[in-house]
Amino acid sequence: MSHSVNVSPEARAKDAAFLQERAASGKEKYIVRHSKQARFTHGITVIACILLAISGLFVFVPQLAQAVGADTVFVIRMSHRVLGFIFVLVPLISAIMAPKGVAHIFKNLFAKWSSDDKKWMLLFFPYLFMAKWIHMPDQDEVKSGQRFADGMLWWLARSWASRA
């Protein structure tokens, strides 16, 4: 099924000018986003999170536990506890090893939103479906969407912890 999207001549000219200017500059902007420690910490945490979700199914869904048997469930429960320990401990150790990195993350996460950040958030959903025709504004070191998602995680974690 094909849909046609009407793009104004002004928007088309603006996008073409942007692409031409970028190609003419001959330079690519290379930003080192994350250190090896940050990538290592993130990788371990993501793997632990995925394995926690899978092992949690066997811990909390009785039908799955019955399907694999008591001995297997015991091993899965023990691995769930170990994985939970890793999931919490690795980021804490990383934060202790690099306190300046943690401060940098918080500085970027809670920085004041610019007009470009607000425009980026407004254009995000249309951009998902019409990326060819929508020009997104420039971003800072941490993208607006990432700042929004991280901020929501912090807010939800804080509100969840206050209930406990």
Q: Mean pLDDT for the chain?
A: 85
Cα–Cα distances in angstroms (integers) from residue 79 to residues 42, 45, 62, 84, 129, in the given order: 20, 15, 17, 8, 41
Length of the chain: 164
Measured distance CA(57)–CA(67) in Å, rounded: 12
Regarding pTM above 0.85, the answer is no
pLDDT score of 2: 47
Residue 14 CA to residue 8 CA, distance in Å, equals 10
* pLDDT bucket at 43, cuts 50 / 70 / 90: very high
Share of the chain above pLDDT 70, in %: 93
Crossing angle of helices 70-97 and 99-109, in 10° steps, is: 90
Cα 102 to Cα 95: distance, rounded to the nearest angstrom: 6
